[in-house]
Every structure is written in C-alpha cells, then in structure tokens.
Amino acid sequence: MSDLYAQNLSEHVSVMTALAELQPELEAAGRLCAQTLHQGGKILLCGNGGSAADAQHIAAELVGRFVSDRRALPAIALTTDTSALTAIANDYGYDAVFRRQVQGLGSPGDVLVAISTSGHSTNILEAVDAAHHLEMKVIGLSGKTGGQLINRVDHALHVTSNTTARIQEAHIFLGHMLCALIESHLAID
C-alpha cells in the first residue's frame, strides 16, 4: 500500500505544481466573476458526477462564505434541483439538463462555470452554447486534452492530467482559488 500512496501523492504534487501556469487565466476569471457580482449578475455552475459535487461546493462557498464574512453572493449549482433535472432529462434528453436551466435562469452578463474532466460532455457543451447565446461569459474547467470545452469558453482552466482523480483534486483547488479571488475583489462590498 505504501507504493500506491507514494505514487498517487507524487502524481498529485506534479499536477498541482503545474497549476502555476494557470495563474494569469485564473486571476482574469476571478476578476470577471467579481465584476459580474458587483454589477448584480450571478454565477451558474454545472458538471457531472464529481464535477457536479464541485459545482455545488463552489456555489455553497459563494452563497455562504469562503473565508470572509461578507454579503451572500448569487451562485446557483444547476446540479441540485432533482425535479428540474429529471423532468428535463425525461422531456428533452439528458444532453439538455443544463442548457434548459441556463436558458431559464441565465441573463446577459452572468457567468457560467462549466466543469468537465474530459471536456467532451455534451450536456456541458450545450450549456456553454446556451450561455454564449444569452451573452453570458463562460469559465471552463477541464482536464485530459481539454476536449471541445477549452475552445468554447472565455477563460479555460485546463488541468494537464489524464487521471480523473488528479483532475478533480486540481479542479476543487481552482474553485477555492476562484472563491478567494472573488472575495478579495469584493472586499469593499
């Protein structure tokens, strides 16, 4: 077991160290989110599986608090309404579950945070297209090759790993950093 632990820890450290190259893009994404929230917009988040949990986690940090006591920030994880998810999937197909919610809840100037470890999830890509149609900005968190997602977003946070667990570990770090940057920019609010 110690070899398994050492191997996974080594991979984790390597992936996390490589995130340093994302700092400029992450800082730009943080400024975008803070500006959106300052102007009365909201942040919508979506993902599947572990990425759905990350979407919920990040939304909770923004509505509640990450570190600082500050006003509640409007953030909605599109992964939490089981009635909407199942009705949309039943009536329109699973590929539409996030697109329909973006169409119903999104407004021009809002931000969509789209999370996909592969970058190929059709329901995520459809949400991105719907967001752009509404003149929303999109931040994409991806892994592996980045898939189609990295070329369809305004800010691409691409984790260069092929291991889903390592990608997800990096994504939650990036989500936490996004929350920290937002709180830092909104410190006057």
Q: Identify the pLDDT of residue 187.
A: 81
At 59, which amino acid appears? A
User: What is the CATH number that goes with domain 2-185?
Assistant: 3.40.50.10490
Helix 50-63 / helix 164-185 crossing angle, nearest 10 deg: 10
Locate the domains of the chain by residue range.
2-185
Dihedral sign for Cα 41, 130, 161, 76, please: positive
Q: How many CB atoms sit inside 10 A of residue 173's CB?
A: 14
Residues 150, 142 contacting (CB under 8 angstroms): yes
Q: Which ranges of the chain would DSSP assign to H, the alpha helix?
A: 2-18, 23-38, 50-63, 82-92, 97-105, 122-133, 164-185
188 contact partners, CB below 8 Å, separation of at least 6: none
DSSP 48: S
Per-residue pLDDT of the chain (189 residues; tens, 9 = 90+): 689 999 999 999 999 999 999 999 999 999 999 999 999 999 999 999 999 999 999 999 999 999 989 999 999 999 999 999 999 999 999 999 999 999 999 999 999 999 999 999 999 999 999 999 999 999 999 999 999 999 999 999 999 999 999 999 999 999 999 999 999 999 855
Let me know the angle formed at the C-alpha of 143 by 140 and 148, rounded to the nearest 5 degrees: 60
